[in-house]
């Protein structure tokens, strides 16, 4: 059975990831953990969803932003996706999609109620194993929620064209509206497509990607 997915899309820096995780953090199964994003928006029947998949998080040092890490939301494993050098140049590590991204979404299909993909863009074009898996999951029985870069390329256009995929636009003045639309879309998914109970696994909450800070060595990663 194909279950639709929902994605947020909008200009860079508008708050797409914040909207996504504010809604999802109100739905996580791990009730002992309190979201740093504040009060959630999910309906009561959605407050025990188990969230899996991946996020891409900014990494900072004393000198400023030094890169982006891809993180498995269930296991918290991470790998550097983008390194930002002092001269502003960037190095892409596409192997992160195979090392972290692919196992994360496959694990979420097995263990989670909803698969998060934050975010999908153009780097993935060089990793056909990953892009094929994303499209296969969107054609499958587990709901997907995520963020799309506000651009056109063959991969993102294929995601948008998948039957049942809904794209919600986020603009500077529409974050509250987008939050309500996303909440309603997720609630509708689980109302129309009841899920088989997933395997239990003691794993951390997905966390809020913008409002919380953790430290690893001399770097700190906001998520």
CA dist 70 to 29, 55, 139, 192, Å?
Answer: 22, 6, 24, 31
Judge if the upstream peptide bond of residue 93 is cis by omega within 30 degrees of 0. Answer: no
Check: CB of residue 199 under 8 Å from CB of residue 153. no
Q: How many whole angstroms separate alpha carbon 17 and alpha carbon 167?
A: 14
pLDDT at site 35 = 34
Sort strands 114-120 and 90-92 into parallel, antiparallel or unpaired.
unpaired
119 preceded by a cis bond (ω within 30 of 0): yes
Domain ranges of the chain: 10-213
Give the CA distances from residue 133 to residues 57, 68, 209, in Å, rounded to whole numbers and listed in that order: 21, 22, 24
Q: If DSSP codes are grouped into helix, strand and coil, which group holds residue 13?
A: coil
Spatial separation of the C-alpha atoms in residues 159 and 157, rounded to whole Å: 5
Q: Which CATH class is domain 10-213?
A: alpha beta
Measure the CA–CA gap between 186 and 176, rounded to whole angstroms.
15
DSSP 101: I
- Nearest 5°: phi and psi at 27? -110, -5
The H or E element spanning position 21 is: helix 16-25
The structure's pTM equals 0.80
User: What does the pLDDT read at residue 214?
Assistant: 33
Q: How far apart are CA 3 and CA 11, in angstroms?
A: 27
Low-confidence ranges of the chain (pLDDT < 50): 29-47, 202-223
């Amino acid at each position: 059975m194909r279950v639709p997915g929902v994605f947020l899309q909008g200009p860079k820096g508008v708050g797409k990831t914040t909207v996504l995780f504010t809604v999802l953090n109100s739905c996580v199964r791990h009730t002992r953990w309190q979201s740093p994003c504040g009060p959630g928006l999910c309906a009561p029947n959605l407050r025990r969803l188990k969230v899996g998949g991946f996020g891409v998080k900014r990494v900072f040092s004393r000198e400023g932003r030094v890169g982006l890490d891809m993180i498995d939301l269930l296991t918290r494993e991470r790998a550097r996706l983008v390194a930002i050098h002092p001269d502003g140049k960037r190095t892409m590590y596409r192997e992160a999609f195979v090392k972290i991204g692919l196992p994360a979404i496959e694990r979420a299909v097995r263990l989670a109620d909803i698969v998060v993909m934050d975010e999908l863009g153009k780097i993935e074009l060089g990793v056909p194993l990953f892009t094929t898996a994303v499209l296969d999951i969107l054609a499958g029985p587990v709901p997907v929620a995520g963020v799309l870069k506000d651009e056109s390329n063959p991969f993102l256009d294929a995601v948008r064209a998948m039957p049942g995929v809904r794209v919600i636009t986020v603009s500077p003045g529409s974050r509250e509206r987008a939050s309500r639309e996303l909440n309603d879309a997720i609630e509708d998914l689980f109302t129309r497509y009841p899920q088989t109970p997933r395997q239990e696994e003691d794993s951390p909450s997905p966390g809020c990607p913008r409002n919380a800070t953790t430290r690893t060595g001399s770097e700190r990663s906001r998520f």
